[in-house]
Amino acid sequence: MIKGKKVYLSSIEEKDLESLRYWRNLPDYRKYFREYREISSQMQKTWYEKVVNGDKNTIMFAIRSIENDELLGCCGLCYINWVHRHSDLSLYIGKDEVYIDAEGIAEESCRLLFQYGFGELNLNKIWTEIYEFDEKKYRLYKQLGFHEDGRLRKQYFYGGKWWDSYLLSLLQDEFENGEQVHV
């Protein structure tokens, strides 16, 4: 368990799968994910068995409330490259169907995940790809100190049009030095 002030990160349990699947299947959420299809119960179970419990290059966490242990969302480090010490970031808040909240749950979850990734795993970089219409995550990640490394033009088709995607990253020394970009 990785404990913060409002939330803690813990292992994803089988009992969490239906809530996570429900949130992932919300149309307002699904548009932000690489997996664009509806996720069936079997697909969710297979992900849990093969990725969460079986892939050494992925470390996923349930985000839970310290106050009452309620499941709030999910975050993790994916596609970990142990040689070059970098990882893709995964995050969403399901509680109240907010995706990225304004109360600081997503921000604290990221900070806990970064402490773990940079401190315990000794990663050098945590990166992510987000789509240009994902303004909530863009603002959050810039606030957390992420830098825009690049843009993939017309990378994603959604809502009848092509969108660019941004590649963003945070380096270990930037996190440790508290370098934050304010937008």
Q: pLDDT tens track of the chain, all 183 residues?
A: 899 999 999 999 999 999 999 999 998 888 998 887 899 999 999 999 999 899 999 999 999 999 999 999 999 999 999 999 999 999 999 999 999 998 999 999 999 999 999 999 999 999 999 999 999 999 999 999 999 999 999 999 999 999 999 999 999 999 988 765 433
- Alpha carbon distance 22, 129 (integer Å): 23
User: Which is nearest to 114 in space by CA: 59, 182, 42?
Assistant: 59
Domain of residue 119, residue span = 2-176
Domain presence at residue 131 = yes
| Angle 180-60-144 from CA coordinates, rounded to 5° | 5
CATH number of the domain where residue 162 is located: 3.40.630.30
Is 183 contained in some domain?
A: no
Cβ neighbour number for residue 94 with a 10 Å cutoff? 20
CB atoms within 10 A of CB 50: 11
Domain contains 113: yes
Question: Is the residue at 66 inside a domain?
Answer: yes
* 182 within some domain: no
Instruction: Identify whether 76 is part of a domain.
Output: yes
Q: How many separate domains does the chain show?
A: 1
Burial label for 85, CB within 10 Å (0-12, 13-18, 19+), is middle
**34 within domain boundaries:** yes
Quote the pTM value: 0.91
Does a structural domain hold residue 56?
Answer: yes
